[in-house]
Amino acid sequence: MKNFLEKIRPLLSRLGAKLKRKPKEPKAVPAASEPITTPRGQTAQTAKPQKVDRFAVISWVMTLLLVAALLGSALFYKNSRSTTYVQTSPPTSVPTSETTTGIQPQVGSPVINTNGGGFSSIERKLQLKTNIPKRERYESISYRVSRGDAMLSIAEQFNLQSETILYVNTQLEDNPHNLKPGMELTIPPADGLYYTWKEGDTFESVAEKFDTTADVIIDFPGNRVDLTDPRIDVGTLVMIPGGSRELRNWTQDLATSGGGDGGSTNICGGGPVASGFGWPAGSHNISGNGYGPGHLAIDIQANEGEPVYAAGSGMVTMAQGGWNYGYGNVVQIDHGNGYVTVYAHLSVINVGVCTPVGQGAVIGAAGNTGNSFGAHLHFEVRLGGSSINPYTVVQ
């Protein structure tokens, strides 16, 4: 408003100068006829009063009226608009992935603040750390195994399958129990395996060998394949995303000791037949490796010396101490219905061969014997001599 008044004031002054009356030029008067002048020392009472500039008064009055009109119109416009108030919801302390269906306030829109009015801004929490989006990784990284690590936990940490780590790290010899503290592991960027390109290899032949497709190998950015001329030099280490190969079945080293044919005949000549299976330890938590292609068993959390129970009624067909292909102190129970259960890495064995047991009987104590670091119970279920997922039979 001040700038507006400053702009119109020169215009009004020029208009007033044009409209102001010009004084008449005085006529020549002979000296003898000149009127008598008043002496300078004459007091102010006898002086004539100065005339008021009527145009200046009128211009200021018009200016004040114009300012009043502008202010009045602005107030009227503001009061005539209907303002919609939106109640804002309190901020949540933890972000959620669920989408909200309520009305969300927009930046700059009128909202009701704590004192009941005004245009309040959206409060933002001060964040000192910059969130950097996670970028895709196309190169392998190295990981040092620490005490307490297991194949399952390492795989979950890098969002991989446990068998991928076995594929890539040949020093494990396809056995997750060979994992030891201080070991350096190669962690690939995706599930699959590495392959050194050989003379005569083609994308199709390599893809068929590892049960994947040629396009997956070509399109993987880490392989740096020129799409206009797709080829790979001999001796190049190539990532095969989604590829797989056969893993060595270490459970076959420890032969199934029992009937294993669905009948009741075993090395002990028979025994109780199980009608159901229960959990073999006090804890239901998995502390190491779960069931999978590289580990045909489950590692159940159990401290040194905690009791180990028979999963079902049957006959003990193996109760043997020692290394036993890495199983350590081991017990096998033939349940007389084709099922055989195996309990490994025990610290104590409480039963002997051809001992009949009932479901829930204490057959030993958990330990850390054989190829193991950290006490736990290695539990297997075999049907007809082949390993199956224990979760399909135990409760």
Query: For the residues 314-343, what does the mean pLDDT come to?
Result: 94
Q: Which residue has the tokens 């998995």?
A: 286
Query: For the residues 135-164, what does the mean pLDDT come to?
Result: 89
Query: For the residues 9-29, what does the mean pLDDT come to?
Result: 64
pTM: 0.58
Rg (CA), the chain: 47
Tell me how far apart the terminal alpha carbons of the chain are, to the nearest angstrom.
83
Tell me: the pLDDT tens digits for 349-359?
999 999 999 99
Instruction: Report the pLDDT value the prediction gives residue 86, as an integer from 0 to 100.
Output: 52
State the chain's mean pLDDT as an integer: 81
Identify whether the C-beta of residue 273 lies closer than 8 Å to the C-beta of residue 264.
Answer: yes
Identify whether the C-beta of residue 332 lies closer than 8 Å to the C-beta of residue 258.
Answer: yes
Domains and CATH numbers, the chain: 141-241 (3.10.350.10), 250-392 (2.70.70.10)
pLDDT at 166 over 90: yes
What is the rounded CA–CA span in Å between residue 25 and residue 22?
9
What is the rounded CA–CA span in Å between residue 395 and residue 393?
7
Instruction: Report the pLDDT value the prediction gives residue 115, as an integer from 0 to 100.
Output: 53
pLDDT at 362 over 70: yes
Q: Report CA torsion sign: 388, 390, 391, 394.
A: positive
pLDDT tier at 118 (50, 70, 90 boundaries)? low
Q: Which two tokens stand for residue 343?
A: 């309990």
**What proportion of the chain, given as a percentage, has pLDDT over 90?**
47
Identify whether the C-beta of residue 158 lies closer than 8 Å to the C-beta of residue 192.
Answer: no
Q: Which two tokens stand for residue 314?
A: 């049957």
Identify whether the C-beta of residue 163 lies closer than 8 Å to the C-beta of residue 292.
Answer: yes
State how far Cα 382 lies from the chain centre.
38
More confident position, 128 or 29: 128
**107-131 b/e with 16+ CB inside 10 Å = b?**
eeeebeeeeeeeeeeeeeeeeeeee
Candidate from 111-125, 177-191, 268-282 with smallest mean pLDDT: 111-125
Query: For the residues 315-319, what does the mean pLDDT come to?
Result: 95
What is the rounded CA–CA span in Å between residue 120 and residue 332?
73
Instruction: Report the pLDDT value the prediction gives residue 56, as an integer from 0 to 100.
Output: 82
Query: For the residues 322-346, what does the mean pLDDT come to?
Result: 94
Q: Averaging pLDDT over each range in 35-44, 191-200, 368-377, which range is the top one?
A: 191-200
CA separation, residue 375 to residues 45, 289, 304 (Å): 122, 13, 6
Output phi, psi for 364, to 5 deg. 175, -165
Tell me: the pLDDT tens digits for 59-88?
888 888 888 888 888 888 877 765 555 555
Tell me: the pLDDT tens digits for 214-272?
999 999 999 999 999 999 999 999 999 999 999 988 888 888 876 554 445 688 888 88
Query: For the residues 137-147, what does the mean pLDDT come to?
Result: 92
Identify whether the C-beta of residue 382 lies closer than 8 Å to the C-beta of residue 342.
Answer: yes
DSSP per residue, 83-150: PPPBPPPPPPSS--SSPP-S--PPTTS-B--TTS-S-PPPP-----S--PPPPP--S-EEEE--TT--
Instruction: Report the pLDDT value the prediction gives residue 99, as an integer from 0 to 100.
Output: 46
Strands annotated E in 242-385? 298-301, 307-309, 314-320, 329-334, 339-349, 356-357, 362-366, 376-383
Instruction: Report the pLDDT value the prediction gives residue 291, as an integer from 0 to 100.
Output: 87
pLDDT tier at 279 (50, 70, 90 boundaries)? very high
Instruction: Report the pLDDT value the prediction gives residue 332, as an integer from 0 to 100.
Output: 96
The 3-state DSSP class for residue 324 equals helix
Instruction: Report the pLDDT value the prediction gives residue 329, as an integer from 0 to 100.
Output: 97
**What proportion of the chain, given as a percentage, has pLDDT over 70?**
73
Tell me: the pLDDT tens digits for 27-42?
555 655 555 555 555 5
Tell me: the pLDDT tens digits for 286-308?
887 888 887 889 999 999 999 99
Bridge partners, residue 204, by sequence: none
Candidate from 26-35, 322-331, 375-384 with smallest mean pLDDT: 26-35
